[in-house]
Structure 1
């Protein structure tokens, strides 16, 4: 079994089309077909079902693909580790992050880091809370910024970088818009704009309301912070939102008001795999993250 055969197999499996795979690989279609044939002959099984010009994986082909994807991650990790040990200041860091940290926290941190290490490269991907955890577990990410920091994940190490307030965002025309602070119970009868079910920020808000004996009435849902802000600005409801998402300002026709009784907060931090060794460049950024936010905390105090 040759490395080239695996590459060709994975590209054909991804595209389900031999010609398209050949174009992506910049080789002749006949070369791809020949390598797939040789691989199937060596394994003694059919990996694909041919359907005209298209192909689909057989059940065994799907099983083989899953193993090869894991093997390729190991190979890529080994290549990266060698490259970074040769020069840890030029490595690549793969980071997952949620939408709530996309506009300020992540850009600010990376910008500060690159002032010291300008040649380090980043691969960034926005994901949901559960996908961030799974991505670090399965090796898709070296680390993930996340909020709140999970406590029950046995294969992960979670480090809290800071704790932030969840504040209310109201339309400017709202009767409570002139208050310096409001009690969460004062929003009992309001229409809420929240993330869809299964989003962690929605769970935080719903739990806070339940502690006061009511369920928030959700009139509209938005899958990202900006759409939720926009719906509130349009006067379609109120929301509770991480304060950090409003650092760069908030939409016209809205007002930010702190929540008291109870104060609603979430932890924000970073997760890394417990049993997988960090590459030198990743470790460099991880230590920088902890020092950066510790310094910010001292400054704010």
Structure 2
């Protein structure tokens, strides 16, 4: 069994089509077909069911795919570890992030880090809260910034970098736009703009409203923070968003108001796997994040 065979197999499984897999791999279709045939012959099982030009995994093929994806991640990590141990300051950091940290938190941290380690490269992967947790667990990435930080996961280690308030974002035409602050109960009759179901920031808002005895009327949904802000800017509802997302980026025709009751907050931090070591360059950035935000908090205090 060769690594090339495994990588060909994984790509065919993803594409469910030999020709498309060959195009992605930049090799001839015949080469991919031959390697898959040799792999199946060596294993003594059919990994795919052929349906014309399309293929789909057999039951044993699905098991094999799961194991081989993990194996390839390990092999790739080892190759990168060997390269980075010769010079950790020139490696690549693979990090995931949700949209709520994309506009300020992550760019600020990377910019400060690159002033010290200018040759380090970053590969950024945006995803939802649960997608990023799963990506770290599976080994697709080794690190992700998240808010709130999961602290009781069997396979993840969470480190809180800071806590922040959620603020109310209102259209400038809203009756409460001129107030200094507001009680969340004052928005019980408003239409809300929130993330879709199963997004953690949606859950934070709904839980806060339920504390006061009402469930928000969700009229519009957006899958990233900019979509949420855009819908509020268009006057289509109100929302609760992390304060950090409004730093230097308050949308036109909107106002930001602090919430005095209840106190709606979230933690922001970084998650890493418990069962795998970070790569050397990733360790540099992980330690930097903890020290950077500690210093920032001390400065703000």
TM-score, length-scaled by structure 2? 0.95
Deviation at 1:212, TM superposition (A): 1.4
CA 1:255/1:15 → structure 2, altered by over 3 Å: closer, same or farther? Answer: same
Spell out the pairing of 1:182-221 with structure 2 (5 A cutoff).
Answer: 182-221=182-221
Q: Distance in 2 between matches of 1:209 and 1:285?
A: 37
Q: C-alpha deviations, 1:215-239, integer Å up to 9, x for none?
A: 1121221111111111111111111
Q: CA deviation at 1:48?
A: 1.9
**Equivalent position of 2:40 in the other structure:** 40
Alignment partners' CA distance in 2, 1:206 and 1:4:
49
CA deviation vs aligned residue, 1:195-222 (integer Å, no higher than 9, x gap): 1221111111111111112211212211
Supply the distance in 2 between the matched residues of 1:31 and 1:239 (Cα, whole angstroms): 54
Other-structure match for 2:266? 266
Q: Deviations over 1:254-281 (max 9, x none)?
A: 1111110222111111111123112211
Q: What does the per-residue CA deviation read over 1:157-179, in whole Å, with 9 as the maximum and x for residues that have no partner?
A: 21111111101111111111111
- Where does residue 227 of structure 1 map in the other structure? 227
Q: Is the 8 A contact 2:158 2:269 kept in 1?
A: yes
Deviation of 1:286 (Å): 0.4
Deviation at residue 35 of structure 1 after TM alignment: 1.9
For residues 79 and 136 of structure 1, the distance between their equivalents in structure 2, rounded to whole angstroms, comes to 19
Q: How does 1:26-175 map to 2 (within 5 A)?
A: 26-175=26-175
5+ residue gaps, structure 2: none
Contact 2:92/2:121, CA 8 A, preserved across alignment:
yes
**How many angstroms does 1:59 deviate by?**
1.9
Change in Cα spacing, 1:186 to 1:89, as seen in structure 2 (3 Å) is same
Report the 3-state secondary structure (helix = DSSP H, G, I; strand = E; otherwise coil) of the residue aligned with 2:168.
Answer: strand
Structure 1 CA distance, aligned partners of 2:22 and 2:222? 40
Tell me by how many angstroms 1:82 deviates: 0.8
What CA distance in whole angstroms lies between the structure 2 residues aligned with 1:283 and 1:242?
A: 28
**CA distance in structure 2 between the aligned counterparts of 1:131 and 1:277, rounded to whole angstroms:** 21
Matches of 1:87 and 1:183, distance apart in 2: 53
TM-fit CA distance, 1:3? 2.0
Distance 2:10 2:275 in 1: 28
* Residues 11 and 189 of structure 1: CA distance in aligned 2, closer, same or farther (over 3 Å): closer
Q: Shift of the alpha carbon at 1:145?
A: 0.5
Shift of 1:12: 2.3
What count of residue pairs does the alignment treat as equivalent? 301
- In structure 1, stretches of 5+ residues that fail to align are none
Structure 2 match to 1:179: 179
SS at match of 2:20: helix
Give the Å deviation of 1:28.
3.1
Q: After superposition, what is the alpha-carbon deviation per residue over 1:120-161, rounded to whole angstroms, capped at 9, x for unaligned?
A: 111211111112222212211211101011122122221111
Q: Secondary structure at the match of 1:50?
A: strand
Give the secondary-structure state (helix, strand or coil) at the position aligned to 1:258. Answer: strand
Cα 1:53–1:243 shift into 2, 3 Å: same
